[in-house]
Amino acid sequence: MKNGQQEDLKYRTRRFALAVIRLYTSLPRSTVSHVLGRQLLRSGTSVGAHYRESQRAKSNPDFISKIEGALQELEETGYWLELLRDSGFSNPERIEPLSAEANELTAIFVSVARTVKSRS
């Protein structure tokens, strides 16, 4: 990946994490929303951590492993977003932009992983 693309993903994953944090803080104060929100908070903020770890990978397999970790966290984040939306704890207008960004990041990371795998 080129340096500009790396910086863009570094920025996007950080911006994504901050949006997840803002959504979490806007949730109603209930036991169920707290449990769902904490799960979302953990997975949504882990995406950027996995991506940053991938930038220090020791080998292509190590890089792929870290990118696939980010993909797993994105998938889980999507699940918690769906539950928050469908349960009515957050309105769709707050959830949909995060879901769209999670889908875009997923497509990017899948493409990156495929490219690196094809070189190996």
Going residue by residue through the chain, which has 120 residues, state the pLDDT in tens, using 9 for 90 and above. Answer: 566 666 799 999 999 999 999 999 999 999 999 999 999 999 999 999 999 999 999 999 999 999 999 999 999 999 999 999 999 999 999 999 999 999 999 999 999 999 999 986
CA 40 and chain centroid, separation: 10
**Separation CA 109–CA 71 (nearest Å):** 7
Q: For 3-119, CATH number?
A: 1.20.1440.60
pLDDT at 63: 96
At a CB cut-off of 8 Å and minimum separation 6, what does 79 contact? none
Please tell me the predicted confidence (pLDDT) of residue 7.
73
Give the start-to-end residue ranges of the domains of the chain: 3-119
Candidates 21, 23, 25; CA nearest to 42 is 21
Q: Return the pLDDT at 10.
A: 94
Asked if 70 and 54 touch (Cβ cutoff 8 Å), the reply is yes
